[in-house]
Amino acid sequence: MAKASSEAHGCRRVLEFYSGIGGMRYSLMKAQVNAEVVEAFEINDTANDVYQHNFGHRPFQGNIQCLTAADLDKYGADAWLLSPPCQPYTRQGLQKDTGDARAFSFLQILELLPFLSKPPSMLFVENVVGFETSDTHAKLVDILEKTDFITQEFILTPLQFGIPYSRPRYFCLAKRKTSSFVNECLNRQLIQYPGPLFEYFDTVIDDDDSSKVDRHKLLQSCQPIEKFLELKKPENDIAVEAAALMNGLSNDVPRTSGKTNGHEYGSLDQYYVQPSLIERWGSAMDVVYPDSKRCCCFTKSYYRYVKGTGSLLATVQPMKRDKNSLKDQCLRYFTPREVANLHSFPEEFEFPEHVSLKQRYALLGNSLSIAVVAPLLRYLFTEP
């Protein structure tokens, strides 16, 4: 019978590197393991404002590259959770890999592992798909093997967990050889289905893992997007306001006032896509509907650009769903709260009021899926 390692060993001390707005910490909480974040590290000032607002603790904001083995030993951490910058490995980027300055701090942390007198017993690394073929990945695996770690690697997406959100990500789980995974036959393998994360718990899973299930069946198991929306107005009201906006008459339409996640909004105007953008980029837009069961990954450039940065929501149902009627569908951006919902952030998560709309989208674009990371962390913290 599997047993949470935290139960057997007491409260685990955790270091959270590249903490962002707290997605990893929320995942740790959702995993319900007995663990405490003793320090978080993040260089982005605005991200730290959000983290402090939600957790009451401000992450260390210095340069991680300045940390020494002695500095890290002082924390006596049992686990390191790392979500380093993905830009060196993304398809849209220059793919400089180890030559990208944004990879230097992660490489520096890895190179400190052999010199620690109190090394962690567990490591967790999250990054984009493509990292697994990088030079940085090769260096990660090499250092982990030389410091007596066993690894299991995963590529998973929220779609496999019932969330209508296509965001595949790479994950490396590592344990020092004094510990072991509950499923040792998967050591040193790259797994692309979530079955092993649940086999030793009371969670019921389908006998067919997602690697054997076709795309249609996978999407049918997801909840519809409407479950994740916060601006739920009657379709007629949306249509009236949207139509007025498209005709440049939105000032004459009664406003829908409210408060979304600490951010006052007078109407939906700021979220609607202008007709000129639809005319220019419509053929490249990913348009989804409230009953859709997938949407594209939201990047940090969402809201600044409409092409290739995330899905847009049609607020008016057309007679026929095609690209020719996009102007009539009153397209809008997903709100920051809705993007947070698709990342499975809890209801209590919120942004400080001074964080701008564009900053919220950028911070969320750099975050992670709690629905995916939480079961991975639970699996990591569990021993036979």
For 125: left if phi > 0, alpha if psi spans -120 to 50, otherwise beta; the answer is beta
| One-letter amino acid of 83 | S
The CA distance from 18 to 84, in Å, is 6
* 86 belongs to the catalytic site: yes
DSSP for 170-209 reads: EEEEEEETTS--S-GGGTT-EE-SSGGGTTTSS----SS-
Find out whether 29 and 14 touch, Cβ atoms under 8 Å: no
**CA 190, CA 1: separation in Å to the nearest integer?**
24
Spatial separation of the C-alpha atoms in residues 65 and 109, rounded to whole Å = 7
Q: Which of 66, 86, 172, 297 is catalytic?
A: 86
Distance, CA of 303 to CA of 312 (rounded, Å): 10
Q: Two tokens at 15?
A: 């270091």
- Spell 112-151 as b/e; 16+ CB within 10 A means b: bbeeeeebbbbbbbbbbbbbbebebbebbbebbeebebbb
Active site residues: 86
